Structure 1
Amino acid sequence: MSFNVRYSGGDTDEHKWDNRKAACLAMINSTKPALIGMQEVRPDQKTYFEENLKNYIVFGAGRDGSSSTEHCSVCFRSDVFTMKSSGTFWLSATPDIMSKGWDGACYRICTWAKLSIKSSGKEIFFFNTHLDHKGTEAQEQGLLVIQKKIKEIAGDDAFVILIGDFNMKPDNANIVSFATYMNNLRDQFASGTFYNASTYNNWGASGLIIDYIWSRNTSPVSYEVVNGVYSGVTYISDHYPIMGKFELP
């Protein structure tokens, strides 16, 4: 699952985090994803999920190198996976140190985990990112950094999932180009119910497809935009979560 939770502190009324957080939890408890990549997670939100998501391990690093700013948090079910290693890199020319990339408006990161499936011993690599919302060069170069780091961390033959808020529509040249390296799960279900479903809802004001699930060396099973009502809340975030299922080779 990829889920941009919408950062806390920036909204009022029904969009306030305190008025959405129980519904976010209800959505996760209902859908029961084995792996979740969350974006825009502030420390109070990370703490909430750590304290209330039963049987999940939640971890991540702040994008400015501290724990006080937004995270790309990774959550995995402890009954399904054992974590072997993890890390965070920056979408910049110097990805191994805290740094802002090119014309980006914000520091941008990718947090990853190498996980072993308890039932089989098979290993997967899970990457969670959030690309810049303004800088076009930062978007283009950021994807190249991600591709380079995936090769460096996971190699060419591993089972890899990359998820996140890419802030680019499907016809963006960068997205089209990246699809030559990784498989866009949505494209595997072009005749499916959710192919044209928006992932960014802007609290109901408009809709865009800018959130993605990518994979390598996998067999896709399903793709879904999770756009239901939970705990009476129509919009649990300004993004809908998206879910994918895969079979391992």
Structure 2
Amino acid sequence: MKTLLYTLIFVFSITGLCAQELGLMSYNIRLATESDGENAWSKRKEFLKNQVLFYGPDVMGVQEALPEQMDYLNHNLTGYKHIGVGREGENQGEFSALFYNADKLEVLKSDTFWLSETPEVISTGWDAALPRICTYALFKDKTTQEKFYVFNTHFDHVGVEARKESAALILQKMTELNTENVAVFLTGDLNLEPDSDPIAVLKTKLFDTNELAPRGAFGPSGTFNGFKFDKPVIRRIDYIFQGKGNTSQVLKHAVLSDSKDLHYASDHLPVYVLIKLQS
């Protein structure tokens, strides 16, 4: 009887080590410009910070974050660290950075590449209007030792070819980097709606987590609100994808429409996914 009990305890402990809940968020925080008037960064940054801390994602990919916004989040998101560089190099231009729970997670490797024909150098790709980047990290859970990749990006808003080529490049980088075949996720503002060709390219290797939540996706159908609080949010251009090559399970998917005094924290709503992470 004791042998059976010890066996069950061992099995449950191993199961616990191989399954861990992981909260992921993708958030275009809208760049800091006072021309936004009542929606300027100075007026919404505290609410946005409090919103992130309330949901407490383990990893959050941000888009459009300028250096001053990165500084604010770095100093005010208690318990978080970040990785990434600006799209014009080092601390210049918009970041597609990753913030992560430093108490829970360790970064094993990380880097940024440009969405272009020359991804290792600062560059603008194909027919894009601006330089675009993808920042990634290989994380390890300090308790379970589980490893996983998160890639975070912001596709160009003009270049049709650039968006399709960017999708293919990210899939290529995932294949090259993920030699251990661990769980992999992609967060980002893709400036694309779900029925577009580049999304179809991504879905050859990735699942759209919006389609995997067992109880369906919670919240508005769209993610871009344009600061129009009185209009339905129906344009969906922000995503979290999961690689098809692992057994992690999507538990919940939500688009978060929190507001304060009839104002959103950004012109995009954040996407939040809860994952049962396992190898």
Band the TM-score falls in, shorter-chain normalisation: over 0.9
CA contact (8 A) 1:165 1:212 kept: yes
**SS of aligned partner of 1:50:** helix
RMSD over aligned Cα atoms: 1.6
How far off is 1:177 after superposition? 2.9
Match of 2:236 in 1: 209
Between Structure 1 and Structure 2, whose CA radius of gyration is higher?
2
How far off is 1:99 after superposition? 1.1
Q: What is the letter of the counterpart of residue 248 of structure 1?
A: L
In 1: Cα distance, 2:99 partner to 2:155 partner = 19
Matched, 1:138 2:162: yes
User: Per-residue CA shift, 1:107-156, capped at 9, x if unaligned?
Assistant: 00000111110110111111100000010000000101100011111137
Indicate the larger mover: 238-247 or 176-185. Answer: 176-185
Match of 2:16 in 1: none
Are the structure 2 counterparts of residues 193 and 160 from structure 1 closer, same or farther at C-alpha, using a change threshold of 3 Å? Answer: closer
Which of the numbers 93, 101, 106 marks the counterpart of 1:82? 106
CA contact (8 A) 1:58 1:75 kept: yes
Which of the numbers 33, 36, 56 marks the counterpart of 1:9? 33
Are the structure 2 counterparts of residues 134 and 69 from structure 1 closer, same or farther at C-alpha, using a change threshold of 3 Å? Answer: same
Match of 1:129 in 2: 153
Are the structure 2 counterparts of residues 113 and 51 from structure 1 closer, same or farther at C-alpha, using a change threshold of 3 Å? Answer: same
How far off is 1:197 after superposition? 1.6
In 2: Cα distance, 1:210 partner to 1:190 partner = 22
In 1: Cα distance, 2:217 partner to 2:164 partner = 30
Q: What is the letter of the counterpart of residue 200 of structure 2?
A: V
Using structure 2 for the length normalisation, give the TM-score.
Answer: 0.85
Q: What is the letter of the counterpart of residue 126 of structure 2?
A: W
Which of the numbers 216, 240, 256 marks the counterpart of 1:192? 216
Which of the numbers 203, 206, 219 marks the counterpart of 2:249? 219
Are the structure 2 counterparts of residues 104 and 32 from structure 1 closer, same or farther at C-alpha, using a change threshold of 3 Å? Answer: same
Match of 1:234 in 2: 263
Structure 1 portions without partners, runs of 5+:
none
Match of 1:68 in 2: 92
In 2: Cα distance, 1:64 partner to 1:211 partner = 23
Are the structure 2 counterparts of residues 195 and 155 from structure 1 closer, same or farther at C-alpha, using a change threshold of 3 Å? Answer: farther
In 2: Cα distance, 1:3 partner to 1:184 partner = 16
How far off is 1:83 after superposition? 0.9
Match of 2:22 in 1: none
Percentage of pairs with the same residue = 32
In 2: Cα distance, 1:155 partner to 1:138 partner = 26
Which of the numbers 35, 50, 56 marks the counterpart of 2:74? 50
Which of the numbers 128, 152, 165 marks the counterpart of 2:176? 152
